[in-house]
Amino acid sequence: MDLSVGLSTRDLNLWYGDFQALKNVNLNIRAGIITGLIGPSGCGKTTLLRCFNRINERYGNVTTTGEIKIFGKNIYDADVSLIELRKTVGMVFQRPNPLPISVYENIVFGLRIHSGKQNLQRSATDATVEEALTAVGLWKDLHNNLKAKATTLQLEQQQKLCIARLLPLKPRLILMDEPCSALDVEATRHIEELMLSLAGQYTILIVTHNMAQARRVSEECIFMLMGELIEHNSTVDMFISPQDRRTADYIEGRLG
């Protein structure tokens, strides 16, 4: 197994009913870096992202073929538990979606669910909450307000909390679907700084329509168009000297 590859697909196809949304997607995503996923609306970015934790399967009309490996393990193998997969693969959505419970309970909720124990040792959960909130830069602001309802926080804080609640489950891959789309410029900057601080510890795949954001945070970039993977390259090379004309047209605003 090549440990430098965090995520790979081979001949990945997906249909919603009769509509083919992904077409023979083959990729290798390096472990421990941020990879940007760009392309016009409707090109299949979010569909691809949701393949990696098998969320697409919640829809009854979805058919998937091909192979997806996360750190060498095919996620469609018969012995793969969806519960364990979704511990390994965390996801952050476009709009913050904290649970309508306290900040503290948001952080330990996943631990309670996955451990099967509602009464975890308090000292252990206290340490977990402090570690997770510190990792996302919220401990200083919230350590005296852990009983506050998470949905009352500012949007930036809510999104950071949604990232923080993934960390106790020790994911290896974090998927981010337009994580800054609901945030203002300053909050976006803070979330980007957070992503960069987590890179190396986690493999991060981010869908973004913001070309400037893709350039700022990603080490490599993938360009998709009409369900196909058109180009995968270092971000610097993709933006300075794209190999495909369609990539250049999109980056320069002539497409999408």
Q: What is the pLDDT of residues 25-39, one digit of tens each?
A: 999 999 999 999 999
- CA torsion sign for 6, 48, 216, 98 is negative
- What is the pLDDT confidence band of residue 1, given thresholds at 50, 70 and 90? very low
Phi and psi for 33 in degrees, rounded to 5? -125, 170
Computed over every residue of the chain, the mean pLDDT equals 94
Does 3.40.50.720 match the CATH number of domain 5-96+172-251?
Answer: no
Classify the phi-psi angles of 140: left when phi > 0, otherwise alpha if psi is within -120 to 50, otherwise beta.
Answer: alpha
pLDDT mean over 92-99: 95
DSSP state of 52: T
Using the predicted structure, report yes or no on whether residue 173 has a pLDDT greater than 50.
Answer: yes
Q: Where are the domains of the chain?
A: 5-96+172-251
Mean of pLDDT values over 90-118: 88
Task: Write down the H helix ranges in 155-209.
Answer: 155-164, 185-198
In angstroms, the first-to-last Cα distance of the chain is 38
For 239-248, the CB contacts below 8 A with 24+ separation are: 239/211, 239/215, 247/223
Residue 70 to residue 25: CA distance in whole angstroms: 15
Q: Give 192-243 pLDDT, tens digit per residue.
A: 999 999 999 999 999 999 999 999 999 999 999 999 999 999 999 999 999 9
pLDDT at position 111: 82
Cα(224)–Cα(35) distance, integer angstroms: 13
| Tens-place pLDDT, residues 42-62 | 999 999 999 999 999 888 899
Q: Where are the alpha helices (DSSP H) in the chain?
A: 45-51, 82-88, 103-115, 122-135, 139-142, 155-164, 185-198, 211-217, 235-240, 245-251
CA distance 126 to 243: 50
239's tokens: 């933006």
Task: Supply angle C-alpha 244, 252, 210, rounded to 5.
Answer: 105
Q: What's the DSSP call for residue 26?
A: E
How many Cβ atoms are within 10 Å of 11's Cβ, its own excluded?
11
Residue 150's pLDDT is 98
Does residue 217 contact residue 195 with C-beta atoms inside 8 Å? yes
Q: Which 3 state secondary structure label does DSSP give 164?
A: helix
